[in-house]
Amino acid sequence: MTAASASVLLLVDGYNMIGAWKTLKPKGASDRSGLEASRLRLVRDLIDYSAFQGYTTQVVFDAQQRDSPGNCEHMTEQLTIYFTDFGQTADSYIERYCALARHDYSSLPQRIIVATSDRVHQLTVVGYGAEWMSAQQLFLDVQAVNQLIRQKRQKADRQSERRSLAHRLDPAAKQRLEQLRRG
């Protein structure tokens, strides 16, 4: 993690991402289990992305069809899920956070990035000094990071494979061991 990324907070409008990313869209409009699966896939992708980037990430979901106070779930050291209070939108939660950050620089991150494709929301948070990232850009960044992680794992697997005893044996010894194995 670099010093620059250590103080970055990524605020993600969760349902906005689900609506914008084709890979996350639930099958039916009223498919609650599909919506839950979409939330879980989004969170899983953002856990890897946040860890790789060194970002602190908060995924914000509206309190849809719930008459309960908001709650916060810490998924990892870097990622938190927040469900807003009844009647509060993710947009208003994120905008309020950005407004408070504008007035209290000492205790909040140096950079706040808001991921949403809502144009009005974008203009509001940028007006408070936050940076904006579209849902499409976040999707592309997440895919790129996933590809880099896969490549690193494959490289590590190949290196550990080459370090095994079987790869260091000369061909005659390998043949003798094979004969012993077969009896």
Type of residue at 36 = E
Query: What's the number of domains the chain is made of?
Result: 1
Per-residue pLDDT, averaged over 39-47, amounts to 94
Residue 26's domain spans which residues?
A: 3-182
What pLDDT was estimated at residue 4? 46
Cross-strand pairs, 8: 111
Residue 78 DSSP class:
S
Per-residue pLDDT of 141-150, as tens digits, reads: 999 999 998 8
**Residues 6+ positions from 72 with CB-CB distance below 8 Å:** 80, 81, 82, 83
Is the per-residue pLDDT at 29 higher than 60? no
User: 5 is written with which tokens?
Assistant: 């990324």
If you compute the radius of gyration of the chain from its CA atoms, what whole number of angstroms results?
Answer: 23
Q: What pTM was computed for the model?
A: 0.77
What residue spans of the chain are helical by DSSP H?
3-6, 14-20, 32-53, 90-103, 119-127, 135-162, 165-168, 171-182
Mean pLDDT of the region 153-172: 73
Which CATH number does the domain housing residue 55 bear? Answer: 3.40.50
Query: CB of 60 within 8 A of CB of 13?
Result: yes
Query: How many CA atoms, within 13 angstroms, populate the side-chain half-sphere of residue 52?
Result: 17
Question: What size, in residues, is the chain?
Answer: 183
Task: Write down the pLDDT at residue 3.
Answer: 45
